[in-house]
Amino acid sequence: MSTSRYDFVFHENAKLRSVAKLLYVSSAKYGGDWHSTPHTHNCAELFYVTGGVGQFWIENEVYPVRTHDLVIVNPRVEHTELSLNTSPLEYIVLGIEGLALSIADDFSHQFCIVNFENRKEVLLFYLQNMLREIAAKTPGYELVCQNLMEILVINLTRQTNYSATLVPVNSKSGRLSVSVRHYIDMHYKENLNLDLLAQNTHVSKYYLVHAFTEEYHISPINYMIACRIEDAKKLLETTDYSQAVISRMLGFSSPSYFSQVFRKLEKKSPTEYRKEFQRDSANV
């Protein structure tokens, strides 16, 4: 999967007009090497599908998506993207803190999917201008992107029956934890460690571990390992890849370490897990 992401860091004297704050903008294209894992964020995410066909897994349900669909996922809603290899998904995603959207002020609806086939120019104008600002990095581009986001949300509510509301902004440690978790979600197959995470967030690794563990009740490294093991289970179920291949794909230092970690979390070896799954599937 190819991903280009920009995280926004506003200076303390930056004058933001809205409580809602643009945290990041990503553009992504799926490839055959990507296996997604369900996750949540403390911010809202707006996915605009610019190409391909796929599905969104949202709170144990699967929803088809196609080009020009806008998928809005509110804070703390478990979700992930599922691409079809025949037509890989391409999308632009915004992470927005302090915002939630839903139908007619009924916020029991924690996500929505709207097709903008006939109104695509509206969204593409603002999203593409954000990407151009990020690429150019001219002075004040972060505030320009923030303003573009605010106008995009206003236009979105004008053209649909969806309403926007501001939600309480999380504490500094909460925002840090969200940022770290999102980074791990995007990079958990890579060679991550606490030093790298602390360097990216500009805090000490001791503070990072404390804040993340307090927010999610798991350490950053154990969360990364859990993401890898969830992917490993899917690969054991759906492929005939060897343990050596799977451990290399998911960033483990060796097949033996992969097997050790898998057994610790699942109470069985990868081989036993695969055999049990195949036996259960054959009996269905």
User: SS3 of 194, please?
Assistant: helix
Using alpha carbons, list the distances in angstroms from residue 47 to 4, 21, 207, 218.
14, 16, 31, 27
Whether the Cβ atoms of residue 53 and residue 118 lie closer than 8 Å to each other: no
Residues 276 and 194 in one domain: yes
Enclosing domain of residue 264: 172-282
Q: Could you tell me the pLDDT band of residue 164, with boundaries at 50, 70 and 90?
A: low
Residues 132 and 259 in one domain: no
Residues 250 and 194 in one domain: yes
Q: Does the pLDDT of residue 283 top 70, yes or no?
A: yes
Show which of 114, 135, 166 is a domain's final residue: 166
Q: Could you tell me the pLDDT band of residue 33, with boundaries at 50, 70 and 90?
A: low
Residues 260 and 194 in one domain: yes
Q: Which amino acid belongs to residue 137?
A: K
CB atoms within 10 A of CB 93: 20
Q: What is the pLDDT of residue 255?
A: 93
Residues 208 and 150 in one domain: no
CB atoms within 10 A of CB 124: 15
Q: Could you tell me the pLDDT band of residue 161, with boundaries at 50, 70 and 90?
A: low
Helices (H), the chain: 120-136, 141-159, 172-187, 194-201, 205-216, 220-238, 243-249, 255-266, 270-282
Residues 30 and 156 in one domain: yes
Residues 14 and 107 in one domain: yes
Whether the Cβ atoms of residue 65 and residue 87 lie closer than 8 Å to each other: no
Give me the mean pLDDT over the 200-218 stretch: 83
Show which of 101, 135, 166 is a domain's final residue: 166
CB atoms within 10 A of CB 260: 12
Residues 156 and 204 in one domain: no
Q: What is the separation, in whole angstroms, between the first and last Cα of the chain?
A: 33
Q: What is the pLDDT of residue 16?
A: 43
User: SS3 of 113, please?
Assistant: strand
Size of the chain, expressed as the number of residues it contains: 284
Q: What are phi and psi of 57, to 5 degrees?
A: -95, 115
Q: What is the pLDDT of residue 200?
A: 79
Lowest mean pLDDT among 169-178, 183-192, 204-213, 247-256: 169-178
Distance from C-alpha of 98 to C-alpha of 94, rounded to nearest angstrom: 13
Residues 147 and 275 in one domain: no
Residues 94 and 148 in one domain: yes
Residues 100 and 39 in one domain: yes
* Residues sharing a CB contact under 8 Å with residue 92, sequence separation 6 or more, in sequence order: 25, 26, 27, 28, 47, 48, 50, 127, 131
Q: Does the pLDDT of residue 256 top 80, yes or no?
A: yes
Q: What is the pLDDT of residue 171?
A: 53
**Average pLDDT over the chain, rounded to an integer:** 83
DSSP string, 243-255: HHHHHHHTT-S-H
Task: Convert the pLDDT of each residue in 75-127 to its tens digit.
Answer: 778 888 888 778 888 999 999 887 777 654 444 457 888 888 888 898 899 99
CATH number of domain containing 101: 2.60.120.10
Give me the mean pLDDT over the 63-73 stretch: 92
Closest by CA position to 147, among listed 133, 159, 161, 160 = 133
CATH number of domain containing 176: 1.10.10.60
Task: Convert the pLDDT of each residue in 226-245 to its tens digit.
Answer: 999 999 999 999 999 999 99
* Residues sharing a CB contact under 8 Å with residue 34, sequence separation 6 or more, in sequence order: 1, 83
- Calculate the CA 121 to chain-centre distance: 25
The total number of structural domains that make up the chain: 2
Whether the Cβ atoms of residue 137 and residue 3 lie closer than 8 Å to each other: no
Lowest mean pLDDT among 98-107, 193-202, 210-219, 261-270: 98-107
Give me the mean pLDDT over the 194-200 stretch: 87
